[in-house]
Amino acid sequence: MTTTARRGRRPGAPDTRAAILAAARERFAEAGFGATSIRAVAADAGVDPALVHHYFGSKRDLFVASLALPVDPRDVLAPVIAQGMDGAGERILGTLLAVWDDPDRRLPLLAVARSLLDPSGHRLFQDGFLAAVLVPVLTELGIDRVEHRAPLLASQVAGLILMRYVLEVEPLASMPADDVVSVMGPTIQLYLTGPLP
């Protein structure tokens, strides 16, 4: 159960992945997604950049992995995207609720939400979650002006998560997912496809 602190390259060591993830989390939080390089993360973790790519793929994959989400939002949203824009708001919301309503995923998701709300995590949201996760998903949906629409969509989704899961405000906290979708789906659809100033 005890581990010895080790330094330097450990390409095959079982804790290399963990070291890379820890270095990535720190870099992304400090510098944001855009200004963080795989090379810098690799240097911080004391490994070769090729190993980072080998374990995690692209920088975006590494970012998603560093968030320690219980699901990859891109995988979950792929079927939503495949069905096109019609009713996409309702489908995005339904998918989100299915993930959050799963008791096994709730606690890890709450931990991510709290880390993004913490002042140290603000960059991770703005120049990370939005830029590296939400904007690409919306772009794949083929919608226009994604940079304007992503924060609007995020505002309603974040507010819902805050009320339903963090503050557990009734009756929203106990409302069946289908009812939440019927009430808030039109809002998400409006932000995806409605007029912008």
What does the binding site for a copy of itself look like in residue numbers (CB under 8 A)? 117, 122, 125-126, 130, 147-148, 151-152, 154-160, 162-164, 166-172, 175-176, 178-179, 182-184, 186-187, 190-191, 194, 196-197
Complex with a copy of itself: residue 98 or 117, whichever CB lies closer: 117
Nearer to a copy of itself, 74 or 122 (CB): 122
Minimal distance in Å, beta carbon 168 to a copy of itself? 7
Q: How far is the CB of 161 from a copy of itself (least distance, A)?
A: 9
CA distance 186 to 138: 17
Taking the complex as a whole, the smallest distance from the CB of residue 77 to a copy of itself amounts, in Å, to 19
- Whichever of 57 and 159 has its CB closer to a copy of itself, that residue is 159
What's the length of the chain? 197
Quick one: CA dihedral 180, 183, 186, 192, positive or negative? negative
Sign for the CA dihedral angle at 95, 98, 102, 106 comes to: positive
Nearer to a copy of itself, 68 or 167 (CB): 167
CB of 163 to a copy of itself, least distance (A): 4
Burial code (b: 16+ CB inside 10 Å, e: under 16) for 88-114 equals bbbbbbbbbbebbeeeeeeeebeebbe
- Residues contacting 15, CB < 8 A, separation 6+: 3
